[in-house]
A and B are shown apart, each in its own frame.
With several copies, the nearest count.
Chain A
Amino acid sequence: MAPRIATSAADAVAEITDGSTVLIGGFGNAGQPMELIDALMECGATDLTVVNNNAGQADAGLALLIKERRVKKIICSFPRQSDSWHFDTAYRAGEIELELVPQGNLAERIRAAGAGIGWFFTPTGYGTLLAEGKETRIIDGKGYVLETPIHADFALIKALKADTLGNLVYRKTARNFGPIMATAAKAAIVQVDEVVQAGSIDPENVITPGIFVDTVVELGGEK
């Protein structure tokens, strides 16, 4: 199905309900779907499980969702930053659950969900605190930890362009988690600078095929 072209960021996230698991793209500001996160803030959905590389920074975006206690659990690789004060406060108060995952395992678990892989053995984290309680195996003398896929209800992603069939291209290191998150969510919601006609993206250069994209919202170019 060609994606729905939403009229606004608010329209794009309107179906996100309480208790949803939401993958949020971005690494630093690159690829961060800030307008969609703001719209998620506005739409009122709560009890969210959020998957992101970080746990919010300063007083914007994901940090505000955490500040307002809308996130019951966060799955991320790097929560503690100089400006992660809203997470820090919520965490110390025991008001947010943290699942800490090495960044590459986080990416691979998201990829596995999208790719229909059940569990997989990864060497990353073997012998560490983050493997405690997990099944391990020694293969050819090397230790591996069994990890599970991370499935989600929604993904919020920022891409550079979408065509009307939902094919996406990204820009530089803003690509980061977008392509894998699009595959792991029941519904991928994508903000783009520009929507172009089907056929205007070279099929060789499509990064996320439209099959993975459910909703697109065009939010114009440079912020």
Chain B
Amino acid sequence: MSAFSTTEAKLTRDEMAQLVAADIPAGAFVNLGIGQPTNVSNYLTKEQGVTLHTENGMLGMGPVATGEDIDEDLINAGKIPVTELPGASFFHHADSFAMMRGGHLDMCVLGAFQVSKDGDLANWHTGAEGAIPAVGGAMDLAIGAKATWVMMSLFTKAGESKLVEALSYPVTGLGCVSRIYTEVAVFELRDSKVFVRSTHGISFDQLAAKVPVELTKA
């Protein structure tokens, strides 16, 4: 495991994506969730040989399609036109989620509303009165891959930590998250502890004061 490190400035969204991309092992099969995680694909290098899965039925997804390459039959889970790489394959929805649920993906990267210190994930529903719920593939993704990483801002607009003792939002999956990338710190969740791998624009002590869970320097 990497030792603790710190940088002066907060990470930008692109820097977060870059960091996640660099951490993905060579040759991994990865599903990148809708939203911020999708940005990670821009920083994967050809040498890494990472294969992207999209749950609507494809392995070997390439970059977003532009111009003449746009084909409405070739889209990602966010319904954005994409391209296919040599060695791609198509399959139906049951096979695609079987691939995920069966633990064949090395990793998925998701956004989150909250993550608990035990790796419980909330990212599908605010639980707000009158909100229309929608879940999509969130629950399948959360528990399906061998490792689930989260990308999120660490604090809400009201300044509350999204890394919590116990979820107050509805659960997406229990005990599934093993790493959290935020603009101010990267956390690793293992052995029932929360390790801080790095801080950005904040010291470990400042961070520990703002986050309501016990933190350990990696």
In the complex, are there CB atoms of A and B closer than 8 Å?
yes
Q: A2-B49, A28-B75, A172-B73 in contact; A211/B59 too (CB < 8 A)?
A: yes
Tell whether B217 is near chain A: CB-to-CB under 8 Å.
no
Tell whether A5 is near chain B: CB-to-CB under 8 Å.
no
Pick the contact of A115: B26, B79, B101 (CB < 8 A).
Answer: B101
CB distance from B16 to the nearest CB of A (A): 25
CA gap between A197 and B84 in the complex, in Å: 16
Pick the contact of A104: B51, B75, B137, B174 (CB < 8 A).
Answer: B137
Residues of chain B with a CB closer than 8 A to A114's CB: 98, 102, 104
Q: A104-B144, A203-B84, A209-B99 in contact; A173/B54 too (CB < 8 A)?
A: yes
Report whether A210 and B92 are in contact in the complex, using a CB–CB cutoff of 8 Å: no
CB distance from A3 to the nearest CB of B (A): 10
Q: Which of B127-135, B157-165, B192-200, B207-215 contacts its partner?
A: B127-135
Tell whether B119 is near chain A: CB-to-CB under 8 Å.
no
Tell whether A46 is near chain B: CB-to-CB under 8 Å.
no
Within 8 A of A (CB), among B52-103: 53-60, 71-75, 79, 84, 86-94, 96-103
Q: How large is the interface on B (under 10, 10 to 19, 20 to 34, 35 or more residues)?
A: 35 or more
Tell whether A212 is near chain B: CB-to-CB under 8 Å.
yes
Report whether A167 and B74 are in contact in the complex, using a CB–CB cutoff of 8 Å: no
Pick the contact of A102: B53, B89, B102, B140 (CB < 8 A).
Answer: B140
Q: A104-B137, A128-B139, A209-B59 in contact; A175/B102 too (CB < 8 A)?
A: no
Tell whether B171 is near chain A: CB-to-CB under 8 Å.
yes
CA gap between A79 and B72 in the complex, in Å: 21
Report whether A174 and B140 are in contact in the complex, using a CB–CB cutoff of 8 Å: no
Report whether A198 and B86 are in contact in the complex, using a CB–CB cutoff of 8 Å: yes
What are 17 residue pairs bridging A and B, where the CB atoms are less than 8 Å apart in the complex? A1-B28, A1-B29, A27-B93, A77-B135, A77-B137, A80-B132, A103-B93, A107-B93, A113-B102, A143-B174, A164-B87, A167-B89, A173-B74, A175-B91, A175-B92, A198-B87, A203-B88
Not counting A104-B97, A175-B91, A178-B92, a sample of 12 additional A-B residue pairs whose C-beta atoms are within 8 angstroms of each other reads: A1-B49, A27-B57, A104-B139, A107-B94, A108-B97, A108-B101, A129-B171, A172-B58, A176-B93, A179-B94, A183-B102, A210-B51
